[in-house]
């Protein structure tokens, strides 16, 4: 099969075409003919940092976590998928799991689901990692009808999905971003837009919660921004963050009695624990998409086999508007 391979790591590492053996469906796995692959920030980190990240695969490496495609073979013990099924998932591209930047991927059936019928392969490939992350964070924070939710980074890959899911759960949603385009997008998604470059946390807490604070803050920005999330949350509220790799003073969280949830959706893949949870979430996301509740935003730029490096650069340089997808 054809694959795009990294033979070295680094910010300027090049993806090179290579011929590799076609995968065989092993027990508990399905072979999928890949139609589309989305690029996530963690993919660009692996290429750039290589061995400095404990989840990077050995060289030569086939990256790519998210994908959508068609099942062509099933292994022993797989009863819920059959050849011809259109599926999507996040199932490889790290450690010893083969990535999706190839014609075929041998994927653990627990990490995939039948793709939403109403989404194209390109759209479906954009959803797994960000969708699972958003769903897990909101679920762990216990988002429920009637609550107020603040999504930090509401126009981003994870954030724009979190906005849609939180609204579906019955919450009143506000979301931060910057600039006219992001404000328009957030409003179109059904949330109240907050430009963090012009609005102070204390001011929008008063304006949108009467000074009480948000029941749940979903922080897809993380890092030092977590301090803003602590400030925005109500007493005994919840903060769910997707970026917790930071040294930060937890004193504000302590005096508010906040519950802090760190979401790292790669754990099932890395440690082979609770993988079925991801398949279950993907089925839920597919239902939401088919019900018209959820739709991923995909960057308008088209990328193919020869453009994998350009796709990674497009995301890394911050010029993307929506998820970056490579069609194979």
Tell me: do 177 and 203 sit in the same domain.
yes
Which residue matches tokens 């019928």? 117
Phi, psi dihedrals of residue 103, rounded to the nearest 5°: -65, -35
The reported pLDDT for the residue numbered 23 is: 98
Per-residue pLDDT of the chain (328 residues; tens, 9 = 90+): 999 999 999 999 999 999 999 999 999 999 999 999 999 999 999 999 999 999 999 999 999 999 999 999 999 999 999 999 999 999 999 999 999 999 999 999 999 999 999 999 999 999 999 999 999 999 999 999 999 999 999 998 999 999 999 999 999 999 999 999 999 999 999 999 999 999 999 999 999 999 999 999 999 998 889 999 999 999 999 999 998 888 899 999 999 999 999 999 999 999 999 999 999 999 999 999 999 999 999 999 999 999 999 999 999 887 777 899 999 9
d(CA 122, CA 327): 7
The reported pLDDT for the residue numbered 251 is: 96
CATH of the domain at 256: 3.40.50.720
Query: pTM of the predicted model, to two decimals?
Result: 0.96
Tell me: do 172 and 123 sit in the same domain.
no
Q: Could you say which of 240, 262, 284 is where a domain stops?
A: 262
The reported pLDDT for the residue numbered 320 is: 79
Tell me: do 115 and 136 sit in the same domain.
no
For residue 116, the enclosing domain spans: 2-127+275-327
Beta carbons within 10 angstroms of residue 111's beta carbon: 23
């Amino acid at each position: 099969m054809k694959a795009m391979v990294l033979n070295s790591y680094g910010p300027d590492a090049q993806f090179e075409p290579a011929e590799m053996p076609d995968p065989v469906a092993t027990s508990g796995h399905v072979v999928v003919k890949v139609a589309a692959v989305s690029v996530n920030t963690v993919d660009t980190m692996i290429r750039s940092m290589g061995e400095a990240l404990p989840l990077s695969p050995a060289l030569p490496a086939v990256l790519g976590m998210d994908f959508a495609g068609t099942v062509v073979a099933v292994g022993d013990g797989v009863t819920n998928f059959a050849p011809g099924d259109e599926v999507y998932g996040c199932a490889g591209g790290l450690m010893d799991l083969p990535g999706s930047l190839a014609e075929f991927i041998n994927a653990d059936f627990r990490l995939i689901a039948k793709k939403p019928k109403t989404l194209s392969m390109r759209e479906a490939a954009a959803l797994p990692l960000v969708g699972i992350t958003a769903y897990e964070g909101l679920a762990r924070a216990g988002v429920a009808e009637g609550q107020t939710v603040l999504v930090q980074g509401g126009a981003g890959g994870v954030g724009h999905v979190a906005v849609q899911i939180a609204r579906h759960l019955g919450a009143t949603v506000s979301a931060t971003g910057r600039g006219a385009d992001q404000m328009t997008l957030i409003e179109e998604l059904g949330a109240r837009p907050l430009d963090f470059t012009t609005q102070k946390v204390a001011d929008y807490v008063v304006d949108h919660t009467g000074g009480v604070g948000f029941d749940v803050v979903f922080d897809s920005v993380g890092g030092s921004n977590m301090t803003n999330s602590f400030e925005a949350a109500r007493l005994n509220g919840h903060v769910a963050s997707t970026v917790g790799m930071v040294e930060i003073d937890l004193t504000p969280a302590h005096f508010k009695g906040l519950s802090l949830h760190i979401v790292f959706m790669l754990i099932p893949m890395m440690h082979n624990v609770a993988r079925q949870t991801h398949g279950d979430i993907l089925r839920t996301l597919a239902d939401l998409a088919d019900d018209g509740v959820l739709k991923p935003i995909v960057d308008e730029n088209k990328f193919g086999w020869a453009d994998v490096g350009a796709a990674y650069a497009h995301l890394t340089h911050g010029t993307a508007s929506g998820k970056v997808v490579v069609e194979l």
